[in-house]
Structure 1
Amino acid sequence: MLDSRIDELRNFCVKVLSDLISYPTVNPPGESYREISDYFSNILNEIGFKVDVIKVPDSLLNDPKHPRYNVIARMGNGRPVVHFNGHYDVVPAGFGWKTDPFKPFISGGLIYGRGASDMKGGIASIITAAKALADSNARLNGTLELSFTPDEETGGEAGVAYIVEKGIVNPDFAVVAEPSGINNIWIGNKGVAWLLIEVYGKQAHGSTPWRGVNAFEAMVHVADRILRELKPVVERRKSKYDYGDPEGARATIMLGGEVKGGAKVNIVPGYCSFTIDRRVLPEEMSEEAAREIEEFVNNIRIPDVELKVKRISVQDASVVDPELEIVRVAVRSAEDVIGIKPRRTVCMGGLDTRFFQKKGIQAITYGPGVQEVAHMANEYVRIDDVLSMAKIYCRMVSGLMGVELS
């Protein structure tokens, strides 16, 4: 009955996803957050949920000019509480788009637009599943709880971290609808150690470089030392977990995500900086990974150059037992819908799911989308996958709390 109702909701699902893509919720800085929060509130109220929109206190924000809003919706009552989460922020569109990234384009069963896979497609699956349950007058033996949150793309502190750590939500089970792909369940994610390396030299006129100390040349030297000496040591470390790609089982270190410095073509640069993105295996500790880089850089000596290492973010990996009840229910539900058992792997990137897992909540990441197109130009999601995932979510609700259909 629920499957047929979801099939009937195909146009509804496509419209919801198209609407979501149309909100340019670009982060940073955090645009259109209020508008999309109002959209969630209206549509979920219409479906029959009790909705709260929670504004994060300005005192907790780095940029109070761009407020943060968490939307929490509930249906039913009591335990267990089954929670579905999606982040509504997206990365900047960037270049190379064939169509306007914030005007959804539909072709060949695909919807194109920024956030289609990461992760407004997953949000559309959640809302479609919720509407199918509500339209079918489902009696829930527990509480169905939804959250739509900001700032996953910048660490999640004002989003899932805030609502979990403040006790605004405290579910028994949680599903984060990131684009793991319909054939794959992420049981966890790698950790990160993000650092900024700052190089201070002495500015001078470009025609008399001997009067200055070239921070760029010093930065190149530091980067070269890291690449030649530290990177091979780090990337020999391997994990026991399945990452869906053999290369993903390695610890990694990536330089130059952000590079800054220099003022003009004829000025010896007195300052340069670059970032380091270190991905940490579940078998490692992020604190130790960060300290390893700090000690390596601090042991480099360059005459008349000052090196500084600053931490941007340090987060441990988070992985749950692949035999947890929520994982088994997800696998069984997926097999019913798509006819195969999804793989249980670890995500190579970071996920908001870790905030649930660290609180001891049974939590996984499972949502529609194509990992390879996330953050790229011409991002898309398959409409059929969004609908199939809605069917899987309905089965998961039934499997975790029990559902009676009238």
Structure 2
Amino acid sequence: MNNMVKDIEKYMQNEANEIINFACKLINTKTENPPGNEILAVSVVEKYFKRLKIPYEIFEKTKSRTNIIGYIGERERSRERPSLLAACHLDVVPAGDGWQSDPFCAHVKNGRIFGRGSSDNKGQMASMMAVAKYLKENESGLKGLFLLAGVADEERGSALGMEYLLDECGIHADYAIIPDVANNMQMIDVTEKGALFLEITSFGKQAHGSTPERGINAVWNMIAFLNQIRHYKFRHAFHPLHSPPTMNLGSIHGGTVANTVPAICKAQIDLRYLPGDSPTDIINDIRSIMKEVEDQHSARFELKITSDQPSTNIPVDNPLIEIITKHTEAILGTKPKPMGQSGSTVTKQLIQKGITAVGFGPGDHDEAHAANESISIQELIDFAKIMALISWDILT
């Protein structure tokens, strides 16, 4: 094993320029979601797969919202052998303001790659390409199957990406590693909060602003409701790997002008609940609070669930975590710790399909979605080393 570690370390250091160049090519493709246009990044990946003679498939639920998966190992023979999926998303959030340079013209400075997607998640895809190259060159030694996926639509729910691949395209694996959690390879995402998004509508009765008693003010009723749920107590308020559950009032819209009693008001709420809690119980609690406010204020409300992503939780003594820990220590000299994630990654969809999936990867936690986003080049190289060792360990 020591010789293999040294060989892979040397190999990936030699791939440094290739990792940088590939990351920059991906960053230079403008795949802001919306609208996505992941096909631009997929074309870069496809050329690389062709050059390395890696078989691949392209999946597209909607035009230009493209996914690509490369396969290394004997696919037929591997059905009874272990399979490992590494998935990076090719869409990015809109660039926004505050950039000191063109966010879609990657540049290298002080050992870092700058550009939208460098840390979330195109830099990681460049690392995984180096891993794919190594595995392809040593494919004869693989007994299992390696799948490298560049997926669409992660930033807006994955309906055109991972969900589509799992539900409609028959993609499956025994294990999956999702390099979309940053933390400089010091943490392994083993559990994620549930994410419940609600849209609340308050219905009133329009009237002249000078005679508000003739109407029913939908905005005032919404305020009464929001003041009630602001102090909502979740049933499960503690988890050893998580921060407490949260509620965020994301938006509120109602009324048109000052001299009209508003007849409608809408609010959007984001609830992040802990493993063990039930979205059904939470929704029932919210409905009970609605009923109280309706009875007290001549109000009428409607609740719509806009997204319900359940919490996930895998055992911390899982063999996949042990393998990641072992090889991270071999390269970095430190052992990553299990963590809970408040945000969501595609590990949710994978776990729901019975795939053992964790989040693990390079990058600083505060870089994703920020202006002047960047990532350490050495971290990308080290991540490639670790992932090559993990993949070889699982698949041979």
TM (norm. structure 1) is 0.87
Inter-partner Cα distance in structure 2 for 1:189 and 1:126: 24
Match of 2:225 in 1: 222
**Distance change (3 Å), C-alpha of 1:378 and 1:167:** same
Q: Residue 347 of structure 1 is aligned with which of 341, 345, 355? A: 341
1:200 matched to 2:195? The reply is no
Cα distance in 1 for residues equivalent to 2:274 and 2:353: 20
Candidates 46, 52, 76, aligned match of 1:47: 52
Corresponding residue for 2:96? 94
Q: 2:358 aligns with which of 331, 353, 364?
A: 364
What is the correspondence of 1:325-404 to structure 2 with a 5 Å cutoff? 325-402=319-396
User: Are the counterparts in 1 of residues 236 and 276 from structure 2 also a CA contact under 8 Å?
Assistant: no
Query: In the aligned structure 1, how far is the partner of 2:120 from the partner of 2:216?
Result: 44
Q: Counterpart in 1 of 2:70?
A: 73
Classify 1:208/1:42 alpha carbon distance in 2 versus 1 (closer, same or farther; 3 Å).
Answer: farther
Instruction: Check whether the contact 1:235–1:251 (CA below 8 A) recurs between aligned residues.
Output: no
Q: Which amino acid aligns with 2:229?
A: I
1:38 maps to what in 2?
43
CA distance in 1, matches of 2:100, 2:316: 40
Aligned with 2:18 (options 12, 29, 32):
12
In 1, Cα distance between equivalents of 2:105 and 2:221: 45
- RMSD over aligned CA atoms reads 2.2
Q: Matched residue of 1:98: which SS? A: coil
Distance 1:224 1:147, change over 3 A: same
Q: Is the 8 A contact 1:286 1:315 kept in 2?
A: no
CA shift digits 1:145-164 (9 cap, x unpaired): 11111122222232212222
Structure 1 counterpart of 2:117? 115
The 3 A distance-change label for structure 1 pair 31 and 355 is closer
Counterpart in the other structure of 1:293: 286
- Partners of 1:286 and 1:385 lie apart in 2 by 38
Whether contact under 8 Å (1:216, 1:269) holds in the other structure is: yes
Identity of aligned residues (%): 28
The Cα shift of 1:119 comes to: 1.6
> Is the 1:180–1:186 Cα contact (8 Å) retained in structure 2?
no
Q: 1:162 to 1:197 in 2, by over 3 A?
A: same
CA displacement at 1:266 relative to structure 2: 5.1
Aligned mates of 2:255, 2:99 — CA distance in 1: 30
Deviates more, 1:306-315 or 1:390-399: 306-315
Identify unmatched segments of 5+ residues in structure 2.
1-6
Alignment correspondent of 2:263 = 270
1:315 is aligned to: 309
SS of 1:284's equivalent in the other structure is: coil
Structure 1 unmatched ranges of 5 or more: 59-65
Secondary structure, counterpart of 1:300 in structure 2: helix
User: After the TM superposition, which of the residue ranges 280-289 and 160-169 deviates more from structure 2?
Assistant: 160-169
Deviation track 1:16-74 (CA, whole Å, cap 9, x = no partner) reads 111222222222x3322222222222212212210110122x5xxxxxxx653221110
SS at match of 1:322: coil
SS in 1 for 2:366: helix
* Residue in 2 that maps onto 1:61: none
Match of 1:242 in 2: 241
Deviation at 1:215, TM superposition (A): 2.7
Counterpart-to-counterpart distance in 2, 1:21 and 1:235 = 43
Q: Does 1:190 align with 2:193?
A: yes
Cα deviation 1:306-356 (Å, max 9, x = unaligned): 211111111221111111111111100101110010011121111211222
- Matched residue SS, 2:293: coil
Cα distance in 1, alignment partners of residues 339 and 206 from structure 2:
50
- Aligned-partner Cα distance in 2 for 1:139–1:73: 18
* Equivalent residue, structure 1, for 2:3: none
CA distance in 2, matches of 1:204, 1:94: 40
Deviations 1:261-304 (A, max 9, x none): 33345544332211111111112122222332233223312645
Q: Offset at 1:205?
A: 5.0
Cα 1:15/1:294, change in 2 over 3 Å: farther
Partner in structure 2 of residue 24 of structure 1 = 30
Partner of 2:155 in structure 1? 153
Q: Distance in 2 between matches of 1:16 and 1:272?
A: 48
1:126 has 2:128 as partner: yes
Judge conservation of contact 2:37–2:66 (CA < 8 Å) in 1. Answer: no
Count of residue pairs the alignment pairs up: 383
CA shift digits 1:202-237 (9 cap, x unpaired): 34455665554433333222222221x42xx23871
Worse-superposed segment, 105-114 or 118-127 = 105-114
